[in-house]
Amino acid sequence: MAKPDKVAAVAEIAENFRTSSATVVTQYSGLSVAQLSKLRLALGTSANYQVAKNTLVKRAATDAGVEGLEDLFVGPTAIAFVTGEAVDAAKALRDFAKDNNALVIKGGYMDGRALTVEEITQIADLDSREVLLAKAAGAFKAKLSQAAALFQAPAAQVARLAAALEDKRKDESGDAPAEAPAES
């Protein structure tokens, strides 16, 4: 018979799987409590980093309908349940793993499919949402400026043509010497 605390833990982990936009499975052996706290601070509010027993995580993943991660639940396992931007959490985990060799990223899950370590690294290499939005806004502004210049060009050409025509008429009428009367 299952113990109530284990049932509650499985239910909590399953709910985390259901509500997270992505998950990253890591191996944390060799990290101190202080280092784990530092990692949690690095993740900020974008992810919840949770250490759990593999048997409980496997059962919770099955309950949540998450498939393809069973091979990752070997050894000391901790999962980052991403609730914010997956890019921010992936960057924080990647950067922390660079500084601390004891943290190993095993894989993850996002958009209904399992992710490899390489895919998580690619996600971490992406620009954040804010940077992408700023780049898009800059591109839109540049295109609008080009369109404005394009629409303004014909009117400017007409104005220059009218000014040139007016100058030509002034030259023809005002500056031309009067013709001398014909001699007989």
Mean pLDDT split into 10-residue runs, the chain, 184 residues: 80 90 89 89 87 90 87 89 87 89 89 88 79 79 78 78 85 64 56
The H-assigned helical ranges of 44-128 are: 54-64, 86-99, 117-125
Residues 17 and 64 in one domain: yes
pLDDT of residue 12: 92
CA-wise closest residue to 25 among 112, 100, 95, 114: 114
27 domain-assigned: yes
Residues 113 and 168 in one domain: no
Domain that holds residue 169: 127-174
Residues 9 and 99 in one domain: yes
Domain harbouring 114, CATH code: 3.30.70.1730
Residues 115 and 165 in one domain: no
Residues 138 and 57 in one domain: no
Residues 64 and 153 in one domain: no
d(CA 148, CA 110): 42
pTM: 0.67
181 domain-assigned: no
pLDDT of residue 183: 58
Report the amino acid identity of residue 133: L
CA dihedral angle for residue 78, residue 81, residue 82, residue 87, rounded to 10 degrees: 30
Residues 116 and 155 in one domain: no
d(CA 133, CA 16): 28
d(CA 47, CA 21): 10
Residues 152 and 71 in one domain: no
Residues 73 and 148 in one domain: no
- CA dist 145 to 20, 151, 158, Å? 41, 10, 20
- The total of structural domains in the chain comes to 2
